A and B are shown apart, each in its own frame.
Chain A
Amino acid sequence: GAVVSQHPSWVICKSGTSVKIECRSLDFQATTMFWYRQFPKQSLMLMATSNEGSKATYEQGVEKDKFLINHASLTLSTLTVTSAHPEDSSFYICSARIIVDRGGPSGNTIYFGEGSWLTVV
């Protein structure tokens, strides 16, 4: 079964509104989660690193005021796309690396959520 759950799987929103995407680690704690963006037929680009209890670290060129990341607990990180525009339409994927191994998968493996399709109209 999935070890990282992402919600929603797809969302359509109007231009100018905000959308929140959740990333949850199941049965393990993740002090660090990562958010990626993937445009159609392209590869994944790291947007930011989400750190539990502290500010996210953003990659160059990613607007931190537009893509708000909150990592309030060891199992949940959220990405909020604020004032969304059609060019923000993309596939957003989160990942988490297992820190506490409770008999599950290898601690050196990164697990990805199923992704969230965002369409801004």
Chain B
Amino acid sequence: SQQGEEDPQALSIQEGENATMNCSYKTSINNLQWYRQNSGRGLVHLILIRSNEREKHSGRLRVTLDTSKKSSSLLITASRAADTASYFCATDKTGGGADGLTFGKGTHLIIQP
């Protein structure tokens, strides 16, 4: 069942600006992951943050996790046209490999050159 909710559902910004997307979830988790999906393509794993972590960085990406609020944010700094894609958060309840991921509805990000 779908439990994650991203906001905004769509975001359009100018190249070079920062893009922030938020995700909320409902149940306890082992970890939360962010994925990117280009139109009509498969998913690209961006970053994983565990439930005992609060912030994680990877290149131009910064992810935060607030388990008390059951929310996470993805920040893309210095956006580029190539960042145009849909971004999904996905929660992993157990982390042991037995369960699939539960995806949020996604944020469609458009970077205008």
Binding site for B on A (CB under 8 A): 6, 31-32, 34, 36, 42-46, 49, 59-60, 91, 93, 95, 97, 99, 108-115, 117
Contact = CB atoms under 8 A, between A and B. Distances in A.
Contacts of B95: 108
B100 A109 contact: no
B88 A110 contact: no
- Residue from A32, A59, A108, A114 having most chain B Cβ neighbours under 10 A: A108
A117 B98 CA distance: 26
A4 B105 CA distance: 23
A109 B43 CA distance: 12
Closest 9 CB pairs of A and B: A114-B42, A34-B100, A46-B100, A112-B43, A44-B103, A115-B42, A97-B97, A43-B103, A43-B105
A112 B1 CA distance: 19
B48 A109 contact: yes
Nearest to B6: A43
A49 B100 contact: yes
Contact of A95 (B1, B40, B100, B104): B100
